[in-house]
Amino acid sequence: MADAKLKPKSVDGTEPHGAGNSPQETASTVEVMPPPDAIEPDPELTPEEAEQARKRYLLKRFWISARRYWGRGGDKFAWPLSIGLLAMICMNVGFQYGINLWNRGIFDAIERHDAGTVYFLSGVFVPLVLGTVAIVTIQVAVRMMIQRRWRSWLTTAVIARWLANGRYYQLNLIGGDHKNPEARISEDLRIATEAPVDFVAGVISAFLAASTFIVVLWTIGGALTLPIAGFTVTIPGFLVITAVLYAAITSTSMAVIGRYFVHVSEAKNQAEAEFRYTLTHVRENGESIALLGGEEEERNDLDKTFTNVLKQWALLARQHMRTTVVSHGSMLIAPVVPVLLCAPKFLEGSMTLGQVMQAASAFAIVQGAFGWLVDNYPRLADWNACARRIASLMMSLDGLERAEQSDSLGRIKHGETEGEAMLSLNDLSVSLDDGTAVVTETRVEIEPGERVLVSGESGSGKSTLVRAIAGLWPWGGGSVNFHADRRLFMLPQRPYIPSGTLRRAVAYPGAADSWPLDEIKSALDKVGLDYLNDKIEEDAPWDQTLSGGEKQRLAFARLLLHQPDIIVLDEATAALDEKSQDKMMQMVIDELPEVTILSVAHRVELEVFHSRKITLERREGGAKLVSDIDLIKRKRKRNLLSRVLEKRRSSPKGTTTSNEGGTVPK
């Protein structure tokens, strides 16, 4: 959760980020389209069949978003680059055919001892090679450009959906197959966009090559006549038939041997992602682990996850070993087969040496084209696994997006207050994504300049209420309303410290150069961090360097720079000692006397800095506000809760009157 949540305008008064027309935003506009309808599994399917159906849908879900790259709102260079790649493939096949003809000519000349033709063809070979190299080089450049631009377009679209409306945070609150989204977006999406381009280019190249050189084989080889048991058997196009049968045998063998490749590759990728996550978790929590002396326990956890990686790699290695037997064996046998088949015709004089070599070259090309699956099956399996992983993340985002557009679970509405109220909660209820109530029937109105303290025992829903106010928690009912054109700034218990300079950390979420250096130093002075002024331009790992108390002081320095109208403090002084806490709160009151404050805290010492206190009490069916008292007497419109509590004075059970001027039920 970030330190600041600005509504409805950003701190500089401009429109929120994303209103421009940068390439990234243009690329992500396609994802504004509604998410696909949810697909419910057929209840009559067995668990195995349901899992297979789910995997098939995951691939379909990936293509629903990925193919939009070539549609309206996609990359304007998508089709020109694709057509250019196709042209390069066709030209490359043409050069292959030219080299194939060259093979026939050079060997026929050698057989005839025709020195002039040999020298001439030797000279022709140079431009053929240079042309082939140039075409292949351009083909690689165009292919990789498509891959790079497609990945950029789809990554931008997924990240835009992931960051929208706090979904990156909400994913932690719901169930589903979306663990380690950062690995899915970085690594899995890279493979998911690179491999299809290679596959399509490979299939087209293989098809064109096979079509071209099958004609060559049919023309050169002709029919083969064999004497069998006193009869003569003629096999038309025997080289073509042999090439097709040979490729069918190798491809079938690969499919059978590598049938578990997809499952093993998917399990390996998941294990790798979990291992990376564990390493990242240790790095991000290094201080706490070191202070607790938890290195041994963390090592055991790392060993456990890494052991799983090695196990999955061993299973994948076995699959590679099996497929290597087929692919390598095919590579060794394929060049020999056509020579042996053409040998009888060459020995009887019906086929020249050049024709034999041309047939051998054409057979190898046809075999390579037909054997495309043999060479690419492992990578195809890897792509399958990666596409499913990124599709799983897309499906979880789909669910959140559908929930935003549906009232089936109830959504908390956000609007503007009426009159002068700075913040109002109207019949606000907060629930989990399954409908379980956390906070119910909350009605509060906060006037300009009020400083309201929200208290309650742990687990009563105070922090959840804060998330609902910030707009990060969507499930529930009622509404959260802010005064129009007022700026909200939130300080969580654990302030976010971005990478970069200390100056950037103080200015966040604004730009580092949005305030003069002297103003930033003055803010640090006022929160007691003046000893850091000499390091304000230093680029260091401040998130690891600063203590918890220093981070909270730095968050208060941000308040002085941004000067918001409404501040929400969620245990924002929990890491400070009582004296420092008092200094920070008094500093805010002195420097921002007109600001409206909503604080969530446990410490009773904070009451002196607030004008009003409301209490949450955990109950069955959801926490409720049970008291609303004035800590400082002031004239204000009394909210509904206060009026209800006052009416209960005359009830048989009675109430007691708070010496601060409010009413508290017995």
What's the pLDDT at 219?
85
Mean pLDDT of 569-588: 90
Strand pairing report for 437-446 and 624-630:
unpaired
> In which band, very low, low, confident or very high, does the pLDDT at 656 lie, cut at 50, 70 and 90?
very low
H helix intervals, 164-260: 167-170, 181-183, 189-221, 238-257
Residue carrying structure tokens 């409720």: 624
> Smallest Cα–Cα separation from 254: which of 150, 381, 389, 125?
381
Closest alpha carbon to 475 in 402, 390, 531? 402
In our burial notation (b when 16+ CB lie closer than 10 A, e otherwise), range 347-382 reads eeeebbbbbbbbbbbbbbbbbbbbbbbbbbbbbbbb
Would you put residue 440 in left (φ > 0), alpha (ψ -120 to 50) or beta?
Answer: beta
Tell me the average pLDDT of the chain: 80
pLDDT at residue number 48 = 78
158 near 185, Cβ under 8 Å?
yes
- Reading the block at residue 615, the tokens are 């209490």
pLDDT at res. 527 = 93
Mean pLDDT confidence for 647-665: 40
Name the pLDDT band for 297 (thresholds 50, 70, 90): confident
Average pLDDT over residues 88-115: 90
Q: What pLDDT is recorded for position 130?
A: 93
Q: Report the alpha-carbon distance of residue 550 to residue 500 in Å, rounded.
A: 17
In this model, does residue 415 exceed pLDDT 70? yes
Polymer length of the chain: 666
Higher pLDDT, 234 or 198: 198
Instruction: Report, as an integer, the average pLDDT of 400-422.
Output: 76
Specify the range with the lowest mean pLDDT, choosing from 71-85, 186-200, 349-363, 398-412: 398-412
Residue-wise pLDDT tens digits, 530-565: 999 999 999 888 888 898 899 999 999 999 999 998
Q: What is the pLDDT of residues 60-90, one digit of tens each?
A: 999 999 999 998 888 999 999 999 999 999 9
User: How much is the pLDDT for 615?
Assistant: 81
- pLDDT of amino acid 655: 40
Number of Cβ within 10 Å of residue 62's Cβ equals 26
Cα–Cα distance, 434 to 410 (Å, whole number): 10
Task: Tell me how far apart the alpha carbons of residues 552 and 573 are, in angstroms, rounded to a whole number.
Answer: 7
Provide, rounded to the nearest whole percent, the portion of the chain with pLDDT above 70.
Answer: 85
Model pLDDT, residue 351: 85
Residues with Cβ within 8 Å of 643's Cβ and at least 6 positions away in sequence, in order, are none
Q: How much is the pLDDT for 7?
A: 39
Res 653 pLDDT > 60: no
Highest mean pLDDT among 147-156, 281-290, 367-376, 405-414: 147-156
Task: Identify the pLDDT of residue 38.
Answer: 66
Q: Are 475 and 432 in contact (CB under 8 A)?
A: yes
One-letter amino acid identity for 173?
L
Return the structure tokens found at 253: 């063998």
